[in-house]
Chain A
Amino acid sequence: MSRRLPETNPSARPNRYRFSKYKKPLVLLTMAAPTAIWLLLLRYLPMGGIVLAFKDYKVNPRNPSFISNLINSKWVGLNNFKFLFMTDDAKIMFRNTLAYNIVFIILGIVIPVAFAIMLNEVTKKFVAKAYQTMMFFPYFLSWVVVSYFLNAFIDGQYGMITAMQRAAGGDVTNWYTTMGPWPYIIVFANLWKNVGYTTVLYLSAITGIDSTQYEAAAIDGASKWQQIWYVTIPNLRTMICILFIMNVGKIFNADFGLFYSVPMNSGALYPVTQVIDTYVYRAFMVTGDIAKSSAAGLLQNVLGFICILTANGIVKKIDADSSMF
């Protein structure tokens, strides 16, 4: 019925036309609205709070509203950053964040690629599947759970290793106050949790490689190593590049849970476990030092932003298809 309406009443047609022309983007806008509003409130609005890093934020007890406090507090220029760098904290957290991330990036590429290539060579599919399932499992656990897994082995009183040391009559290591082993524990924990996931990613890329490429290489007399080097690796290049950029872009970001929860927030270990994320949290929530905390946070975001743009730019130059944006 309604479809025949325009024909019987031609003047209604342009009106209806114009309406539907505006209606479509409007309806689609309502679909985008929930997420867009969320982004606006929880991501863009806080970006305004960046000015905190340049202010001496004081809470006025008579008017505790954040906005008025922010407006009324004094501009101090770069003083917050100056104070931050006068302490050892800054040096320690930047050193730790960068050093750990560099190790994570390198091992996080080499080991999963090697594992994926090895898994692909396992001829019994059942075994390969079982290995893959087991290796992927830790990825789904939270760092708190991982910290208890670790604690079962190194708990100061009942841990398995501690108990074995005690039974052997040797010195008992108090793991949560001894800094020495922690860089290794942190690196191992991170690999333990994430290697399976990355391996699965690379494996799915490897299984996607056209098998005729290998056949051709084999007929030409390429050894297994040569096939890996000249067929597998070049095929993985795009994915390696993408994961590499994403990780370099996040080089100033540390996994909060890994550095906070796995060492059980032990103060004695701060020199080897303090990273920017944990510092920002502790300075803000524990010591209430808004100035230094927001200065460190802003520094982290700006440096990360520069890093991700640079990494992407470099990849774009080398191989335009592999770049993220």
Chain B
Amino acid sequence: MAVKGKKKNLRLNSVSPGAEAVIYVILGLFALCCIIPFVFVIIISFSAESSIRSIGYSFIPQAWSTDAFRYAFRKLPQIWRSYFNSIFITVVGTALSTFMCALYAYVLYRPDFKFRGFFNFFSFFTMIFGGGLVPTYIVCKQVLGLNENYAALIVPLLVNPFNIIIMRTFFKSSVPLELIEAATIDGSGEYNTLFRVVAPIAKPGVATIALLNALVFWNDWYLSLLYIQRNKVLQPLQALLMELQNNVEYLSRMSGQMGAAAINEAAKMPTQSLRMVLVVLIVVPIACAYPFFQRYIVAGLSVGSVKG
């Protein structure tokens, strides 16, 4: 009887079945709307070029084909190169930025550090004020030499003050200060304490920051737009895709041909599905890893947004 009463109470406190059905429909429609374009792009990338030419992009193409994928990997070496660039930038950038962020946040977390207030303000202030695009660009290009090289695609994104705040909150909530004191009394040096004692405990926080950083590097095309003007082989996939927006011939120039040969080549090329092949190549790694890292990202975002 008591159990039944409790159950009834629970039922009372949830919405009516009718209202719940409405909720299912509204949220379901939006959720579908969020992934349908991705499914659509996959379908287009497997559509035969002839089908696209006759009925346009369609969920049900007249004919399927893997020509675009084969063409992309056989005839367009720049795609391999760009894929490599994307991976290289993401790996190096993520490692460096996560390392720097963890070190800085650790220092801000230490209450016994003398200049804590200063360094805290030093990073925070850049969140609310900056020099703007023009001075930043000129400093990067002319003073720091971030120009037509890999460094230009990595260095400007290395520090994000918001991540420092998230990381510091992680340290605060997961690493007890007594632990550091104990380690220090036992004669452990600062770096030793950080890497051997603190890091293992703060691993989930570091993982979150690493994931956020990896996404930023993987998704970036803006830096390439700014700093890679001539040495286009360094373009990551995203930048290649950006370039293709207004310049479909870019693909045929990529295949190394010039002039009439390029036009000839362009005619044979499954241009329309090729563009979508690039999109698929970019999104698939994210889509595959996404279910696994979603948890960490949610944890990190909720920690970071609670309070700086």
- CB within 8 Å of A: which B67-83 residues: none
User: Hey, which chain B residues are within 8 Å of A42, CB to CB?
Assistant: 136, 139-140, 144, 155-156, 159
User: Hey, which chain A residues are within 8 Å of B308, CB to CB?
Assistant: 324-325
Quote the shortest CB–CB distance from A93 to chain B (angstroms): 14
Candidates B106, B225, B246; contact of A31 at CB < 8 Å: B106
Quote the shortest CB–CB distance from A144 to chain B (angstroms): 5
A162 & B56 in contact (Cβ 8 Å cutoff):
yes
- CB within 8 Å of A: which B148-177 residues: 155-156, 158-159, 164
A239 & B305 in contact (Cβ 8 Å cutoff):
yes
B123 & A39 in contact (Cβ 8 Å cutoff):
yes
Judged by a CB distance under 8 angstroms, whether A106 is at the interface is: no
User: Hey, which chain A residues are within 8 Å of B246, CB to CB?
Assistant: 264-265
CA distance A106 to B143 in the complex (A): 42
- With both beta carbons as reference points, the residue of chain A lying nearest to B159 in the complex is identified as A38
- Taking residues whose C-beta sits less than 8 angstroms from the other chain, chain B's interface range is 35 or more
Stretch at the interface among B199-207, B256-264, B290-298: B290-298
B41 & A149 in contact (Cβ 8 Å cutoff):
yes
Judged by a CB distance under 8 angstroms, whether A218 is at the interface is: yes
A127 & B242 in contact (Cβ 8 Å cutoff):
no
User: Hey, which chain A residues are within 8 Å of B85, CB to CB?
Assistant: none
Judged by a CB distance under 8 angstroms, whether B255 is at the interface is: no
Interface Cβ pair total, 8 Å cutoff: 271
| Chain A residue total in the interface (Cβ 8 A) | 100
- CB within 8 Å of B: which A73-111 residues: none
A200 & B140 in contact (Cβ 8 Å cutoff):
no
CA distance A204 to B19 in the complex (A): 22
- With both beta carbons as reference points, the residue of chain A lying nearest to B96 in the complex is identified as A34
A204 & B302 in contact (Cβ 8 Å cutoff):
yes
- CB within 8 Å of A: which B101-138 residues: 101, 103-104, 106-107, 110, 112-115, 119, 122-124, 126, 128-138
- CB within 8 Å of B: which A256-306 residues: 256-257, 261, 264-265, 277, 280-281, 284-285, 290, 293-294, 297-298, 300-301, 304-305
User: Hey, which chain A residues are within 8 Å of B130, CB to CB?
Assistant: 43, 46-47, 301
List 9 other contacts, CB 8 Å, given A31-B107, A47-B131, A325-B308.
A28-B113, A35-B104, A45-B139, A135-B34, A141-B219, A152-B40, A159-B56, A261-B242, A304-B128
Would you give 26 A-B contacts (Cβ < 8 Å), ordered by A? A27-B191, A31-B106, A35-B103, A35-B164, A42-B159, A45-B131, A45-B139, A46-B132, A47-B129, A115-B30, A121-B20, A131-B31, A133-B294, A144-B221, A149-B38, A200-B298, A201-B301, A243-B305, A249-B128, A257-B222, A277-B133, A284-B134, A290-B134, A300-B132, A301-B130, A309-B128
